[in-house]
Structure 1
Amino acid sequence: MKTGAVIIASGDYGEEQRENEGIHLFLPMYPLDGTTVIKGEIARFRKAGVSPIVVLAGCHSETLKLHLSHNNVIFVEDEAYREHSFEEALKLALETAAPLMDRALVLPVEYPAFGEETVEALLKAEQAAVPVYGGQAGWPRSVVPGEKDTKAGQDRILVEDPGVCYSLLDAGGIERVSAYLKARWDAATLHFKTKLVISKEEDFFGPGVYHLLQYIDETGSIQAAAVKMNMSYSKGWKMINKVEKELGFRFLNRCNGGKNGGSSTITPEGRLFMERYHAMLEDMKRITRGFFEVYFGEFQ
C-alpha cells in the first residue's frame, strides 16, 4: 500500500493571525525547532518513508511555493481558500492525491508536534485511522483518497503522544508546541553542554555571575536579581565583590537605598566584559559542535 501525505496549508493565515500568540510571520513559514513549521512536518513524514507529499496552499501561495521549491512536494493552489471550509479544502487536495497514493496521512499545517511513533502507528493501520491521546482525537489522520466519506471506518489508535493535539492556533499554542518539541529533542538526541568559567587561583566568573548581572541589568536591582536567581541578597553581593576584586574594576554603579538595596547599573567596563564572555561562549559552542559530531555522531 502506497502511503503519502497531504498537508493543508490553505487557511487564511494572513493579517488577522499576525498578532495571535506572537505569530508575526505567515504561519506555515513560522520558525520552529530549527526550521519552519511546514518544512519540519515534511521532514518528519519523509523520515518515516511517507511519499509523495501534497501541499495545499491558499493564503500567500506564491511565497509558500518559493519556500518549498527545493523540498520536492506536489503543490496545489486553492484559489477560493477564503470561501472553502476545511472539508472542502481537504476534498480538493485529495483529488490530486488520489491517483498518487492508496492512503494519505492528512495534516492541518497548524499541528506540527506529532511524533515519529504516531506516524508509524498510522502506517500499521489497515484502514482509515485517527490518533487519540487522552480521549481527544488528534493529527495527522489516515484517510483513503478515493472514498467520498473520509471519516468512514476510522480506527481510533491510542497513542502516547500529546503533540497530536497541540495546535499553534490555540491559546498559548506557540509556547506549548515549542516546549514539547524541545523536550522530545532533549530526550531523543545526544547533545552537549558548554560551560565557560574564568579563574585565577580560584574560579570567579561563570554562568552564575553572568546571569546575575543580566538580571541586574534587566531589573536595576541586586535584590530583584537575587530573587530571580533564587539566592540571598548577601550571596549576590559576595559574587559581584569577588569578580570586581579579581578583575580590578567595578561592574556596577551603585545607588544606596537601604534594606531594598537601592538601584544598580552595569558599568561600561562591566558590560564589555559580559559581551566578550557571551561571544566567547558562543564561539566555543560553535566550534565544539563540530567536534561533537566527529566523535559522537555515529551514536545519534
Structure 2
Amino acid sequence: MTIPTQSDNSEKRQKTTGGIIVATGWSSGENEPHPLLKMGSITAVKRIVLTFQQVGISPIVIVIGYEAEKIEHDLADYGVIFLLDEKYETSQMFDSAKIGLSYLLNKCDQIIFNPVSILMFTPETIKKMMECGKKLLSPSYHGKTGHPLLISSELIPEILKYNGNTGMRDAIKNIGVERQWIDIDDEGILHDADDIDRSNQLLKKHNQLILHPFVRISIEKEFMFFNSKTKLLLILIEDTHSVRSACKHIALSYSKAWNMLNELEHELGYTVVERKHGGKNGGKTYLTKEGTEFLKKYQQFEQNVRKYAKDEFVRLF
C-alpha cells in the first residue's frame, strides 16, 4: 500500500526517533562498501549521520566491526553511540541490525534503519517518513523500493525473534504487520556507493541539502567541564550502570571518563554519580538525583539553543 505524504503533524512531532546505521564494513557474501569510503570530502557513514541529525534523530547507533577504531575516530565529535558486532566477518546485515534494535528497544518510539551503502537520501525524505505515523514504512521512487526503513519500536520484539537466514525483508514479513510505502521524489533512496557515477551526480545536491549550523555547546568556569561528550557519558551510565560499558559505546578511555566525572563533580560542588562496590555481580554506578536533574536541564538547554540556532540559520541564510 502506498500512502500520501501529508499527515497530522501535531501528533507526529511528539514521537521520538532513533537511528541505526549498519557500518560493519564487512558482510559475508555481499559486496558492501566500506563506511570510511569518501563521498565528497566526508565519509559515507558521516554523511548519513549528518542527514539523520538534520531531522533530530537521536540516539544514533552505529553498528561497527571492520576497522572499528577508525570509524570511532571519524565520528568522535558527533554524539553517536557505537555497538560492536564481534562476529562481523561472518554476520549478515540482519544480524548486525538486531544488535542495534536490541539496544534501542524501549528508548524511542520509532527507528530509522539504514545500511551504510545507501547514503544519498535527503533530510526531507526522512522527515516525511518520521511524520507519517506508520508502523512499518519504506520510501519509493518511481515504484522502486529504497532505503531507509522506518520501524515502530513496538515491532522490535517480534523482529528480534526471527531466526531465519533471509534477512530483514523476511523478518518484517514474519511479524504480521503490513509494510507501507511513501512516494518520494528522491532517487537517493535507491543508489548505493557502488554506483559511483550516479552518486557523484547526486553529491552536489546532497551537500546543499545537508547545509546546517553545527553548534557545540559547553559549560565552563575557568575551563570547560561539561559538553556533549560528557552528556553522552552520563546518559550511558544511567543506561548501563557501568562506566566501563559506557566508555565502550563512545570510544572513551576508562581513565579519561573518570577524570571527566571527577572534574564535573568538583566544578558543580555535588556528587553526580554514585558508586556501589562489591556484590557477586560487581559494583555498579548510578546517577544521583542531583546528577539526573543536571542532565535533564542541560538537555533542555541544548535543545533550546539548537532550535534557536536552526531557526536563525533558516531566517538569515
Instruction: Provide the TM-score with structure 2 as the length reference.
Output: 0.52
Shift in Å at residue 165 of structure 1? 0.4
Aligned to 2:35: 28
Aligned to 1:135: 143
* SS class of match (1:93): helix
In structure 2, what residue type is equivalent to 1:130?
S
**Is 1:159 aligned to residue 184 of structure 2?**
yes
Counterpart CA distance in 2 for 1:58 and 1:144 is: 26
* SS class of match (1:142): strand
Where do 1:50-199 residues align within 5 Å? 50-126=57-133, 127-145=135-153, 146-149=156-159, 151=172, 152-169=177-194, 173-185=195-207
Q: Deviations over 1:9-66 (max 9, x none)?
A: 114179x97xx9xxxxx82122223322111111111111111100001111122112
Report % sequence identity.
25
Aligned to 2:6: none
Change (3 A) 1:185 1:299: farther
Compare relative contact order (CA 8 Å, sep 6+) and give the higher one, 1 or 2.
2
Give the root-mean-square deviation of aligned CA atoms.
2.8
1:11/1:82 contact within 8 Å kept: no
Aligned residues: 183
2:26/2:34 contact within 8 Å kept: no
Change (3 A) 1:140 1:50: same
Structure 1 unpaired stretches of 5+: 21-25, 190-295
In structure 2, what residue type is equivalent to 1:157?
I
2:24/2:35 contact within 8 Å kept: no
Aligned to 2:17: 3
1:13/1:27 contact within 8 Å kept: no
1:33/1:40 contact within 8 Å kept: no
In structure 1, what residue type is equivalent to 2:186?
D
Change (3 A) 1:66 1:186: closer
Q: Deviations over 1:217-248 (max 9, x none)?
A: xxxxxxxxxxxxxxxxxxxxxxxxxxxxxxxx
Counterpart CA distance in 1 for 2:52 and 2:128 is: 13
Structure 2 unpaired stretches of 5+: 1-14, 160-170, 212-312
Change (3 A) 1:136 1:147: farther
Instruction: Provide the TM-score with structure 1 as the length reference.
Output: 0.55
Counterpart CA distance in 2 for 1:27 and 1:57 is: 11
In structure 1, what residue type is equivalent to 2:16?
K
Counterpart CA distance in 1 for 2:72 and 2:94 is: 22
Counterpart CA distance in 2 for 1:187 and 1:107 is: 19
Q: Deviations over 1:122-159 (max 9, x none)?
A: 11121221001121111111013424236233221111
